[in-house]
Structure 1
């Protein structure tokens, strides 16, 4: 009898400690539902984050385009300034030549006037 009692106690311990499949499902379904909700929220947050990243990348790309355009315009302006400086140097050289020619013309006119006076005195 003593052996039968021990066996019944052991059998009760083994059967009482086991959970049925439906019990486990009942306990895990709410957790699974919460995990699914969190996954959907996480997907939404990731989607919004990707949208924000793409929006943030666009102004950076636009800024790079503006920088490139400004740089190109600055190079064009510098080239135009160099051309203007070269033209100014040519104009200055031409003015110097014209001034020299005018001085030579004045000198020639004075010589011609002296020669004319000398011819008149004879």
Structure 2
């Protein structure tokens, strides 16, 4: 009798502690569903990151182009300033020469008037 009770008790404990396939499936299905949802979200995020990286490269390229254009415009404006400064100097020299020629003409005219 003792043997029977020990065997029956042990069998009961072992069988009650075992999980059935259906029970395990019921418990793990929600976990798998959440995991699949998270994997899809991660995949979408990776696609978005990839897209953003491409956009960043495009923007960087455009910024580089704008910087180059700005540098070229600055060089041309500096050259134009130098050329205009040279033109101002030439105009001032021409004005001085014209003034000197006018004074010389005036003196020559005055000398002719005195004769």
Task: Please state which band the TM-score falls in when normalised by the shorter chain.
Answer: 0.7 to 0.9
Question: In the TM superposition, what whole-angstrom CA distance separates every residue of 1:88-119 from its partner, at most 9, and x where no partner exists?
Answer: 1111100011011112221332343345456x
| Equivalent of residue 36 in structure 1, options 16, 32, 35 | 32
User: Aligned residue for 1:47?
Assistant: 43
> Which residue in the other structure is 1:96 paired with?
92
> Which structure 1 residue ranges, 4+ long, deviate > 6 Å from structure 2?
none
Aligned pairs for 1:63-78 (under 5 A) are 63-78=59-74
Runs of 5+ in structure 1 lacking a partner? none
Q: Give the number of the structure whose alpha-carbon radius of gyration is greater.
A: 1
Q: Secondary structure at the match of 1:10?
A: helix
Q: What is the rounded CA distance, in whole Å, between the counterparts of 1:44 and 1:27 in structure 2? A: 26
Paired residues in the alignment total: 114
- Which runs of 5 or more structure 2 residues have no equivalent in the other structure? none
TM-score by length of 2: 0.75
Query: What is the TM-score when the length of structure 1 is the normalising length?
Result: 0.71
- Call closer, same or farther: CA 1:23–1:92 in 2, change over 3 Å: closer
